[in-house]
Amino acid sequence: MRLKVLNSFERNALERRRAKVRETLSKIEAGWVPGEAALAEAPFLDDWLTRTYPGTDLPNLVGNCWGHPTLGDRWIRTSPILHQGDGYAVTENTVYILGRECTASNEARLDKILSGRRGRGREACPEPDFDDETEVKP
């Protein structure tokens, strides 16, 4: 499945999410915390679901991913989650910026997309800035 290219509004919203993740991760004292390079290149995961990693009882994420360093832009399954917070997840070797979680109504649409029956597209990162309530027009 080929994902659409993120527009400038979506890229700006993604950068605001990266900034929020940087702020949150700076407050974590224990364990591995990703550095600036990992955050700057963190892939964006949208329409994600938490699943069990095959062969284990550990949670992982599945969803549409943009900017993965080895897999590119496509649907992926992550390695097991080490830490997950508001808008981000840290796995064994990657930090992900999270978009919207796949809801039950979206899960049926995702099944259609994955089976090749495409539905109507939508913006991947449409909400306004976290602190700024002003409306941004594309």
Does residue 51 or residue 117 have the better pLDDT? 51
- Dihedral sign, CA of 34, 39, 41, 46? positive
Find the mean pLDDT for residues 89-117: 75
Is the pTM of the predicted complex or chain greater than 0.85?
no
Question: Tens digits of per-residue pLDDT, 36-68?
Answer: 887 888 999 998 999 999 899 999 999 999 999
CA distance 38 to 109: 31
